[in-house]
Chain A
């Protein structure tokens, strides 16, 4: 075993291991940066940070081949951008404008196609799955299946970590 090969990938690295690695790393970072939160607001902030970290690491672990993972990463990036540059409203407008036009166009297209399969459910699913607005029903179902799989792994891993830390 060579302890020097830090960057070499484990050939059998699964989604679970990739997610755990990234997530733990970000957890440590979060713990390092802030002191332990005592007031509820800080707890809430920290919770939000943890959740973002979890989502981000899940999206990274899922790979960029999936629409939902790319969409999630974009969303997170845009959110941080928006928060970061609130002094520059032009950037925000551009970001928001891009998102709404994309959504608007795609929604129109979808409404015409999906009359047969329960449009309201399809639209609900679109809202749940990140990046679901810009997909036709067929690929939406595909992405939803993969998303559910990844969410399951995420929940399992987080539960394990929480159990270990709390026991």
Chain B
């Protein structure tokens, strides 16, 4: 789409050069060619600078004979989402007749007007500092030679943002050649919060709004502030009760309190766990029942890995598939301390259960075997879930032997 237009534009440019002596034409032609041969993203930034609706800009510069070609190009261009509202410089067909100068003047006026009304709409464009519009207006009043000027300041604006708006001609040419790097490295385009939404861009893009300072430091500051504000919003969502608070300081206070409270809770719980773990009445049945309720049977487990599935099921909510079945079975099979209803159910386990109840009483009295108990528990759970879910559960022989050891 652009490539046919590119060489076309180039060829059209090489034609008129002898006529435009007053315009320092050779260099201008080279520069235009360079512009056109530059990859589209640079061109888009250039056009973004112009902030022109493509049709109007084209009509300004266009000689009627080539209008068709350009319009096709523009339409093709408009299909590209990233270039949408922007006029691609690569498709600029500069008129080859002497009306160029008038049109250029008109164009620069138009561009100047548009630049004054920059809004924050376009998603990815280079920034147009407000001083560049002032420069443009200055330029418009000058002679036809100034045709170069409106293009040059516009083109090299991304790079001059850093330099604090130096819109000198000789500087421009160099900077335009560096535009390839400049637009990607140093250009700052819109910051509608898109660049901060979790993307780790090496360079932040902000747009200089109307009436705001445009030097590089304040732009960088603004970018940083916006990043920080976005992160604060995320934090506000995480910390409960932070949504109503306004003001960074208060929100930060809340966040700090929340983190401190969470850390204190962890300490308290670890103390509880340290005290509770080798408890006197370490109930397997309740543990197993609770565990089984939440185990999500989707994978293979080592004995150590077994207990971890219950929080996941809590998260996944898949317990309906297995809960009824498992709770029933597991309770019946692995209840070691309970003597009420567990024996009525699955028969192969009954012998083991009866065996285990005696073992359990031993276990209960022996504090030092609490670790053994835990291991037995884990092994049981592992055995249950290593077998297929539909088969009735047989307690593994290892568990059986383990229970023997406990006596």
Contacts and interface: CB of A to CB of B under 8 A. Distances in A.
B232 A141 contact: yes
Nearest to A151: B262
Contacts of B367: 36
A52 B288 CA distance: 26
B311 A121 contact: no
A6 interface: yes
Contacts of B283: 167
B211 to A, nearest CB: 21
Interface in A108-122: 116-118, 121-122
- Assign chain B's interface to a size class: 35 or more
Contacts of B272: 162, 166
B312 A125 contact: no
B302 interface: yes
A125 B252 contact: yes
Interface in A37-94: 37, 43, 46-47, 49-51, 54-55
Contact of A51 (B266, B275, B299, B311): B266
Interface string A101-140: 0000000000000001110011011001100000001100
Given A4-B300, A144-B235, A155-B262, A164 B291 contact: yes
Contact of A160 (B239, B299, B311, B368): B311
A14 interface: yes
B286 A167 contact: yes
A interface secondary structure, majority = helix
A22 B65 CA distance: 75
B300 A1 contact: yes
A158 B300 contact: no
B386 A21 contact: no
Interface stretch (B179-187, B347-355, B370-378): B370-378
Contact of B273 (A12, A20, A128, A158): A158
Given A54-B270, A164-B287, A166-B276, A1 B312 contact: no
B387 to A, nearest CB: 8
Given A31-B374, A36-B278, A36-B370, A155 B256 contact: no
A149 B238 contact: yes
Contacts of B308: 17-18, 20-21, 24
B21 interface: no
Contact of B311 (A4, A16, A25): A16
A58 B270 CA distance: 13
B371 A31 contact: yes
B300 A117 contact: no
B300 A155 contact: no
A48 to B, nearest CB: 8
B235 A20 contact: no
B370 A31 contact: yes
Contacts of A14: 312, 315
A58 B235 CA distance: 20
Contact of A145 (B235, B286, B312): B235
A12 B291 CA distance: 19
B218 to A, nearest CB: 13
Contacts of B262: 148, 151-152, 155
Contact of A117 (B248, B299, B309): B248
A18 B249 CA distance: 35
B302 A128 contact: no
Interface stretch (B135-143, B151-159, B163-171, B223-231): B223-231
B278 A12 contact: no
Contact of A6 (B276, B291, B305, B307): B305
A47 B270 contact: yes
Interface in B213-241: 224-225, 227-228, 231-232, 234-235, 238-239
Contacts of A12: 298, 312, 316
Contacts of A18: 308
B388 A1 contact: yes
B325 interface: no
B256 A1 contact: no
Nearest to B313: A17
A49 B374 CA distance: 18
A128 B260 contact: yes
Contacts of B278: 31, 36
**Closest 5 A-B residue pairs measured CB to CB?**
A141-B231, A3-B386, A20-B308, A51-B270, A121-B252
11 contacts: A2-B300, A3-B301, A20-B311, A31-B370, A36-B278, A36-B370, A138-B228, A145-B234, A158-B273, A162-B272, A162-B273
Interface of B: 224-225, 227-228, 231-232, 234-235, 238-239, 248-249, 252-253, 255-256, 258-260, 262-263, 265-267, 269-279, 282-283, 286-287, 290-291, 297-302, 304-305, 307-312, 315-316, 367-368, 370-371, 374-375, 378, 382, 385-388
Given A47-B275, A54-B270, 15 more contacts: A14-B315, A17-B312, A27-B277, A28-B378, A43-B274, A117-B249, A129-B259, A141-B234, A144-B259, A145-B234, A152-B262, A160-B310, A164-B287, A164-B290, A166-B279
